[in-house]
Amino acid sequence: MQRRHVQTILAKKAETPTAANNLRKRLIQLMDFAITLDWRGDNPARATKPFRVGGDGFHTWDEDELAQFFKVHKPRTLAHTAVTLMLYTGAARVDAVKLGPKNVRNDKIEYRRQKTQRSGGVLVSVPIHPDLAEVLDRLPTNRPFLATQEGTMRSAGGLGNLMQRWTEDAKLPQCSAHGLRKACARRLAEAGATAHEIGAVTGHKTLALVQRYTEAAGREGMADSAIEKLIARPNGERNLANLPKRFVNSDTNPNQGKEN
């Protein structure tokens, strides 16, 4: 395989740049492994450039979209349960399908993120929100929350396919399971949670990732809160509008404004 062959393969996924970049990573790993086996002496996949991913990544659900989804998918349906579970835990699909009664301890849902397993797995311990508790209380206690009809664990890919169908039924094609994870972070930010607090819920290891997830937080409301804090500060009487005249005049006469 030559570089142009790799480019041809990746070009077929040009309309989905994130998927194309993921495929590129897999090809690089595969070619590196082939080199270790002495099957080839170069890695043409490394010679290609990743696709530029525009926008903000996965769409973050807003409150109107959540209301629309729940209007179509009523309580006691798998769709309602799945979205409620991911919205109030911030769990990714791959983790959400594994969650069940065994993960409930002391009124919290606890699990280790699969994405961080290589480093021991980040332990996530999230108190169960009353809205989520109401949903979970109706479920069987001997199977995963999002189990198949046979009671077995559902695959992450299977849940993804269902989510696509559910969102299309609700006329929300822009929404996805991953967008619920971002919506959870957005809600926490709008409620005043700190970056560290949000990271403890979502299981992010760095604050930079938390910031990416909370960019959709209501900036207007947060700006109001910020100004309220500024007004309430102890030295609030001293501001740019009422600075002592000595500072205003100091540029014109350096000898003025000195206290005796």
pTM, two decimal places: 0.65
**How many domains does the structure of the chain reveal?**
2
* 254 pLDDT higher than 50: no
Q: Which domain holds residue 25?
A: 3-47
Return the pLDDT at 247.
39
18 falls within a domain: yes
Return the pLDDT at 92.
92
Check whether residue 99 and residue 195 sit in a common domain: yes
56 falls within a domain: no
231 falls within a domain: no
Check whether residue 33 and residue 110 sit in a common domain: no
Check whether residue 144 and residue 170 sit in a common domain: yes
Check whether residue 9 and residue 116 sit in a common domain: no
Considering Cα of 194, then 96, then 205, then 120, what sign does the dihedral take? positive
Check whether residue 69 and residue 41 sit in a common domain: no
Query: Residue 249 corresponds to which amino acid?
Result: N
DSSP codes, the chain: --HHHHHHHHHTTTTSHHHHHHHHHHHHHHHHHHHHTTS-S--GGGGSPPPP--TTSSPPP-HHHHHHHHHHS-TTSHHHHHHHHHHHH---HHHHTT--GGGEETTEEEEE-GGGGGGT--EEEEEPPHHHHHHHTTS-SSS-TT--TTSSPPPHHHHHHHHHHHHHHTT-TT--HHHHHHHHHHHHHHTT--HHHHHHHHT-SSHHHHHHHTTTS-HHHHHHHHHHHHHTSTTTT--TTS--HHHHHTTT-TTTT---
225 falls within a domain: no
Least confident segment among 34-38, 65-69, 174-178, 245-249: 245-249
Q: Which of 94, 127, 125, 93 has the alpha carbon at shortest distance from 111?
A: 125
- Mean pLDDT, to the nearest integer, of 105-118? 87
| CATH number of domain containing 171 | 1.10.443.10
Check whether residue 82 and residue 30 sit in a common domain: no
Check whether residue 43 and residue 71 sit in a common domain: no
19 falls within a domain: yes
150 falls within a domain: yes
- Mean pLDDT, to the nearest integer, of 30-49? 88
The separation between CA 226 and the C-alpha centre of its own chain, rounded to angstroms, equals 24
